[in-house]
Amino acid sequence: MSKSHRGEWFQALFSDLTSGLRKLLKIPISHHIFFVSSGTECMERIIENTVAKYSLHFVNGAFSKRFYKTAKDLGKSPQNIEVPLGKSFDFNKIKIPKNSELICLTHNETSTGVMLSLHEVYKLKRKYPEKLIALDVVSSIPYVDVDYDLVDMVFFSVQKGFGLPAGLGVMIVSPEAFKKSSLLKTKAVVTGSYHSFADLSKYESRKETPETPNVLDMFLLCNVIKDMQKIGIKKIRKLIDNRSKLLEKTVESSQFSYLVKDGRFRSKTIHVFRDKKDNSQLMQFLEKKHLIVSRGYGELKESFIRLGNFPAHSDSQFRSLISALNEYLKR
């Protein structure tokens, strides 16, 4: 189940995979594509490579909080703007501190099901063009359609939107973000070792990775992207939208209740809701039907359920889920 990561076979895979990603996600040729081992690693490498001291974190759940904690762990002095679970931000009222070097945002908070408006993110970049922006799209890719001219770093892992075995992270890095990491190096800031942007880029130019990577996952991702290309990304996004609407209809016309009250910020790919009458009954019912859903994240573990709506879920799987929910409601 593996092949050597040095030599022509791997270089051809690397080429295929990066050009597939560029086509599917419209990534400009100017941007680097770096492969690491998880979304969490992406957070660490982004802070190490683009922050001397101050990052600013929009925190509205467990994953945005982890990004903030990562910066603290790495000895930086991060700042945060925090809102309660299930809420988004009032972007118009937010003033970005002058000293912020990097603004970190979680496009789709997997823990709460809040999806930020990219329009607001782009407005932020236009207002503060000199600040770098990093966007976590772990659970919204490939549904999300990013304008890479207005976001400097975008990252994801492959076990959610691409339905693949865990163990691979992908970072898309703008020339400006890369320049920042070079600047930090000249100032003797430690930007990491084998996964510094400098080392990743040196190997990228040879169509390789610094370390022995998860070759199997890269191979699988390359092929899943080819499958997605055949279907067409527009059609895939439309499918996610349609299924999302269907699920929303069921939830909103029933005793179920979304964690995210404001429909404008409700995620299309992660639906977090509960049965107001008895959530444990709902969980037991689905379990008996062998429908494996996630429980709420952290403190919401017992009170909410989380449903993924990813391209890897087949339509028939999704329809069984909707029928089961309706059957539950009709008991």
Which of 60, 100, 140, 159 binds a copy of itself (CB under 8 A)? It is 159
Question: Which residues, 6+ apart, have CB-to-CB distance to 12 below 8 Å?
Answer: 207
Which residues from 193-232 bind a copy of itself, rule CB under 8 A?
193-196, 199, 210-217
Whole-angstrom distance, CA of residue 214 vs CA of residue 5: 9
Please say which residue, 66 or 268, places its beta carbon nearer to a copy of itself: 66
Whole-angstrom distance, CA of residue 30 vs CA of residue 26: 12
Please say which residue, 72 or 237, places its beta carbon nearer to a copy of itself: 72
Whole-angstrom distance, CA of residue 35 vs CA of residue 311: 22
Residue for token pair 């700042």: 79
Shortest distance in whole angstroms from residue 272 CB to a copy of itself:
16
Tokens of 17: 């995979």
**117 contacts a copy of itself (rule: CB under 8 A):** no
Stretch that binds a copy of itself, among 62-70, 170-178, 231-239, 250-258 (CB under 8 A): 62-70
Which of 5, 31, 271, 306 binds a copy of itself (CB under 8 A)? It is 5
Site string for a copy of itself, 73-112 (x = CB under 8 A): xxx-------------------------------------
79-82 β-sheet, strand order:
32-36, 169-173, 153-157, 132-136, 102-106, 55-59, 79-82
**314 contacts a copy of itself (rule: CB under 8 A):** no
Cβ atoms of 101 and 53 within 8 Å: the answer is yes
DSSP 177-241: HHHHHHHHHHTT----STTSHHHHHHHHTTT--SS---HHHHHHHHHHHHHHHHH-HHHHHHHHH
Please say which residue, 153 or 251, places its beta carbon nearer to a copy of itself: 153
Please say which residue, 245 or 301, places its beta carbon nearer to a copy of itself: 301
List residues near a copy of itself by CB under 8 A: 1-2, 4-5, 36-41, 43-44, 47, 66, 69-70, 73-75, 157, 159, 164-168, 188, 190, 192-196, 199, 210-217, 294
